Amino acid sequence: MENVKRAKKPYQKYGWGQTIFEVTILITFIILFVSPFVNLISLSLSSSRAILSGEVYFRPVELQFDTWIAVLRNNDLLNSLTFTIFLTATYTFIALLLVMMAAYPLSRKTLKGRVGILGYFMFTMYFGGGLIPSYLLYVSINLIDTFWVLVLPGVFSVYNMLILKTFFQNIPDSLEESARIDGANEFQILFKIYLPLSLPALATLALFFAVGRWNGFSDAIFFLPTRNDLVPLQLSLQRMLNLTADTELMREQLDGTTRRVRILKESQKAANILFTVVPIILVYPWLQRYFVKGVMIGSVKG
């Protein structure tokens, strides 16, 4: 009983005041993060008259689905969605494979020259060639206007490799020693022992890689000048928003109907933004049980 009481003492110092404060902060952040999405949903489902009169905040006014029907019938958006899903899956798989194959040997204390190799990797975190040298490099190796220019340049992340390396180092050495006694080689130890125990880390890194690739579009602008069939979803959205802005400016110069045109486009903007954001958001619930543990990896000593 005395041990039980001692175990409870650290938790008894947190009173109702601190609990209410933490819950209040949590609810505040939830409202701040969720309210923009609720507003976008309301705008995409509201009529032009309601948006024009400023009645739309957090619930649809004069419900309509014409905007979403137009979005779902937009072949350019649907093709970009299909391509981006394939691109993100390919990029994430290759990135995880490369990070994993680098993190495992660097986590072994028996690797000769481990410090030097690790320093070589970390050097790339602080120095980069820049856009123009990168473009010239991609031209020289025939990556411009190809699918792989969206995958290979950023597929290896030293930062994520260090996270996975730290996780590998905290797996008990006794498991590896037992596997070696049973005759397991390095690949068997990696794929049958380390990877199953590293699901939180792998899920977290997969989420980082997928979100980064899903939201990227600048590389497609620079390195895919003529390939209209390789258009990521975010680039398609950016082009639509720019086209809307150009249309508004033209209408203003011609007949002064800028305000009317802008309001008519607001529901389309909201629907297009939601169309590009919702798919990646739906990934989070599947990885939630691993993500909470995985984000704490950096606080574990290496």
209 or 2: whose pLDDT is higher?
Answer: 209
Task: Flag whether pLDDT at 184 surpasses 50.
Answer: yes
Give the mean pLDDT of 37-52.
84
What is the per-residue pLDDT across 98-109, written as a single tens digit (0 to 9) for each? 999 999 999 888
Domains and CATH numbers, the chain: 1-64 (no CATH), 70-299 (1.10.3720.10)
Highest mean pLDDT pick, 232-236, 254-258, 262-266: 232-236
Q: Mean pLDDT, to the nearest integer, of 49-63? A: 82
Highest average pLDDT, of 83-97, 99-113, 129-143, comes from: 83-97
Q: What is the pLDDT of residues 278-290, one digit of tens each?
A: 888 888 777 766 6
Please compute the mean of the pLDDT values over residues 262-277 and round it to a whole number: 76
Residue 259 predicted with pLDDT over 70: no
Top pLDDT among 182 and 158 is at 158
pLDDT in tens, 59-81: 888 888 888 888 888 888 899 99
Residue position matching structure tokens 């070696």: 180
Residue 260 has pLDDT above 90, yes or no: no
